[in-house]
Amino acid sequence: MKRRDFLARAAAVASAGFGLANLRSDGHGFTNSALAANEGSIEKASLEQKFAEFALSIKYEVLPADVIASAKRVLLDTLGCAFGSVGSEPANIAETTIRKTFGEGNTATVIGYARPATVEGALFVNGVLVRSLDLNDTYIGTEPLHPSEVLPTALALCEENGRSGRDLIEAIVVGYEASTRVNDAISFVERGFHPLCAAAYGIPLIAGKIWGLPKEAIANAVGISGARGFTSFVVNSGAISMMKAMGLAATAADGVFATRLAAQGFTGPSGTLEWLASKMKPVKEGFAVDLEVARYRLPRVAFKRFPIQIELQAVAEAGTLLSAKIGGRTQDIRAITVETYPGIIERVADPAKFRPQTKGTADHSLPVCLAMALLDGDVTVDQFEKDRWRARDVMELVSKTSVRPGASLIAKIPKGRGASIVIAFADGQSLHETVEVPEGDAERPLSRASLDRKFMNFAVPVVGMSGAERVMSLVNGLEELKDVRELTRALGGTGKQNPG
């Protein structure tokens, strides 16, 4: 582009401002002259265009029934996770800070809190709430991803724009499908980045679809967001800090800002994913993202029974089963041997996980989570909040635990997340338990009764029994809602668990 043309484009963008004032009140019009004048004239890499076309092609009327049902399941599960974090230190810090960063606003609900916020403020706090407990859903492509962290963006934007329940379902599907398909296509962890980087491609598609932007604007938003959306995997390394909870929330706020810029004609780079695949080792030959609409990933998302890393679900389940058999003999345990998958060992049984210093490290620690399951018969949020993981009896079992690759597990289910545990007692006796597929896995789905119970356990302390039942009812009938604000109005609270 010539310098003169660039300056003219920049002037047009600046005069338009950063808002979305040029959209009609229904959000579907787009009259920005800077973009309209160049519609169709800007050459874009095919992938950005295909992402935009993909988002615009998702229509409620043609979604399969199982995809719609899955969207409502993940929404209920995600709201439950958010309620469970209300009043936590990370959430309270975020809720206070957004008003200094994004300004005061009343367009979007902060889940479990009394004061609404701007869209960016609400989606940031709600993102922290969703992730804090480490109990939200997981998709396994090239690596574990938590796609439910895109839901706060869909919810806040639909609320701001008065969209329907069907619009929200479309936005959820778009965000989930784009993020999971990127996750299928390339490993960010292999290149030193966090898997949440995949959402940098889903967020602008959500915003662009809800705002009714044209293909060219959405493609530019994807380019801007994708180029900026690289988060280092150091977030999940060593002593895990509170940043674990805000990684994708920050990416989401940035992605919405990128879409606001693109809506006013701001252009973005092309080929951000291709650059990653070709320039950063390991080089990925034949890189492509599957954007065939019919091959939905959403029904394949896994839910968590325990508030710990997804690859620890089988370990915790096996531990709870063994706990009932051990009885009061934990003092007689001589050694604990765990067999699982090499990649899992690398992520949850590295040296730092045997001596965790933070809650965020403890809920990613195989030996710690197993020890609590064996001693207490469960792994719960309360254990982490009350520092149960620091207790002497827990650390004693941790010191007796060794972890190694499980040849039989790998041979039977090469890409599984199972675990096999052997407990040896001082008198020579032993106990053994294997969980090949944990409860909540896509191959062994969490039952509806278990999902409802999980939601109610976290929602009732924040909004009461009647409030929790109302939220559940609204989610179950989401496709019938004319305005999502009927749901979001039911999500507020006092910022505390069990107020009064």
Task: Check which CATH number belongs to the domain holding 396 and give it.
Answer: 3.30.1330.120
- The arithmetic mean of pLDDT across residues 351-379, rounded, is 95
Domain co-membership, 350 together with 289: no
Which pLDDT score is estimated for 437? 96
Within-domain flag for 474: no
Q: Which H or E run includes 423?
A: strand 419-425
Contact 152, 484 (CB under 8 A): no
Position 220 pLDDT exceeds 80: yes
500: pLDDT confidence band, cut at 50, 70 and 90? low
Residue-wise pLDDT tens digits, 230-250: 999 999 887 889 999 999 999
The Cα 11–Cα 38 span in angstroms is 14
**Would 408 be classed as within a structural domain?**
yes
Q: What is the pTM of this model?
A: 0.84
| Burial of 243 per CB tally in 10 Å (0-12, 13-18, 19+) | middle
With respect to residue 106, please indicate whether it lies within any of the assigned structural domains. yes
Report the b/e string of 85-106 with b at 16+ CB within 10 A.
bbbbebbbebbeebeeebeebe
Q: Do 280 and 328 share a domain, yes or no?
A: no
Please tell me the distance from the alpha carbon of residue 371 to that of residue 402, in angstroms, as a whole number: 12
pLDDT of residue 43: 53
The answer as to whether 359 is a domain residue is yes
Name the domain boundary from 266, 300, 334: 300
Kindly list the distances between the CA atom of residue 439 and the CA atoms of 163, 231, 435, in Å, as whole numbers in the listed order: 35, 30, 9
Do 235 and 320 reside in the same domain of the chain? no
| Residue 318 belongs to a domain | yes
Please report which helix (H) or strand (E) contains residue 465, including its range: helix 448-476
Q: Is the same domain home to 174 and 323?
A: no
What SS3 state is found at 116?
coil
Segment 295-301 shows an average pLDDT of 96
Question: Quick one: 294 and 366 in the same domain?
Answer: no
Region 73-100: mean pLDDT is 96
Domain end position, chosen among 414, 435, 456: 435
254 Cβ neighbours under 8 A, 6+ residues apart: 200, 225, 228, 229
Residues 14 and 74 in one domain: yes
Q: What pLDDT is attached to residue 24?
A: 35
- Of 204, 49, 143, whose CA–CA distance to 347 is shortest? 143
Domain boundary among 255, 271, 300: 300
For the segment 299-329, what is each residue's pLDDT rounded down to a tens digit? Answer: 999 999 999 998 999 999 999 999 999 988 9
Alpha carbons 172 and 166: distance in angstroms, whole number = 10
pLDDT for 446: 93
- Give the model's pLDDT for residue 7: 36
Is the pLDDT at 424 greater than 70? The verdict is: yes
- pLDDT, tens only, 110-120: 999 999 999 99
CA dist., res. 258 & res. 224, Å (int): 6
Q: For residues 314 and 296, state if they share a domain.
A: no
Q: Is residue 66 part of a domain?
A: yes
C-alpha dihedral (24, 29, 32, 37), degrees to nearest 10: -160
Q: Torsions phi, psi of 72, nearest 5?
A: -70, -35
Integer CA distances (angstroms), 206 to 4, 25, 171, 357, 381, in order: 33, 18, 5, 37, 31
Tell me whether residue 96 is in a domain: yes
Residues 6+ apart with CB under 8 A from 230: 193, 197, 200
Position 339 scores a pLDDT of 98
Return the CATH number at 231: 1.10.4100.10
Same domain for 187 and 243: yes
Q: Does 21 share its domain with 122?
A: yes
Statement to judge: residues 320 and 352 lie in one domain = yes
**What radius of gyration do the chain's Cα atoms show?**
23
Are 288 and 386 in a shared domain? Answer: no
- Give the mean model confidence (pLDDT) for residues 97-110: 94
CB 401 within 8 A of CB 305: no
Long-range contacts of 429-434 (CB under 8 A, 24+ apart): 431/322, 431/325, 431/326, 433/318, 433/319, 433/321, 433/322, 434/318, 434/409
Domain limits for position 163:
3-300
203 and 320 in a single domain? The answer is: no
Q: What is the DSSP string of 2-20?
A: -HHHHHHHHHHHHHH-SS-
User: What is the overall mean pLDDT for the chain?
Assistant: 91
Please, which pLDDT band fits residue 499 given cuts at 50, 70 and 90?
A: confident
The structural domain count of the chain equals: 2
- Specify the pLDDT at position 327: 86
Contact 138, 364 (CB under 8 A): no
Q: What is the pLDDT of residue 244?
A: 92
In this structure, is residue 170 part of a structural domain?
Answer: yes
User: What is the distance between the alpha carbons of residues 20 and 261, in angstroms, rounded to a whole number?
Assistant: 9
Q: What is the pLDDT, as a whole number, of residue 36?
A: 42
- For residue 22, pLDDT beyond 80: no
SS3 339: strand
